[in-house]
Amino acid sequence: MIVSVHVADIGVRSVRSVLRACPRPDGTPGLRWAQTALTGLIAAGPPRLRPGRATLIASWEDDSALDRFLAEDPLAQRLADGWRVRLQPLRASGDWDPMPMEIDPGAPGDEEDGPVAVLTLGHLRLRRALPFLRANSRAAGRAAADPSMLASLAMARPPRFVGTFSLWRSTSAMRRYAYGAALPEHKEAVSEHRAKSFHHEAAFLRFRPYGAQGALDGQEPGALESLGCGTH
């Protein structure tokens, strides 16, 4: 199993049709799960919505299934001028029934200090939306200010789907942000979620990024190549 994240600026008028074009496993060979969403920038305060930008998150049986989608599917062509990255699962916590995580026994250990990508996925409890936004704002502000975070997205598909994607220079840098004593905001948000869940269902997933292509907010695949990720 692999996961892909696709991001493209397609224009405000096209976003609605792209959101409706979310691929389905019963019509896309090798697809296990997919979600299209609106995107914004991770930042202190509410996420900064990027009008005209859309994202697709998808899990696949293997690289061949993703290659087939990229070559044949009309949605892939509409997102082709943006940025995408392939992700190898390393670790998962929580539950996301639509996308059971399979960790390859041959995957590099999560303790290896290479580049790492993080996905958070949530099915929001609407009555907990305001506490979620407050807690997320504090943690997101710290993440956005961290020079080790190379790229990030806040994602939403109203009324309930919310998520984030972040790409970090190293696992150790990501852990300092998430668990370090000097930066308690993320730990406080996790503790608040555990005490009274923000979501009906939520998952926190780590990946080894590889196969990046295109550009996102001015970042080129070369930034990943220098970290040993390469392109595909």
AA letter at 7: V
pTM reported for the whole predicted model: 0.85
Q: CA torsion, points 10, 15, 18, 19, in degrees to nearest 10?
A: 140
| Spatial separation of the C-alpha atoms in residues 2 and 207, rounded to whole Å | 9
Residue 95 reports pLDDT greater than 60: yes
Q: Of 18, 7, 16, 212, give the one whose Cα is nearest residue 115.
A: 212
Per residue in 110-149, pLDDT (tens digit) is 556 789 999 999 998 888 888 777 777 777 777 777 888 8
* Per-residue pLDDT tens over the stretch 44-94: 666 678 889 999 999 999 999 999 999 999 999 999 999 999 999 999 888
> Peptide bond preceding 108: is omega within 30 degrees of 0, i.e. cis?
no
- What H or E segment, with its residue span, contains residue 202? strand 199-214
* pLDDT exceeds cutoff 60 at 207: yes
d(CA 232, CA 56): 18
Residue type, 110: D
232 pLDDT more than 50: yes
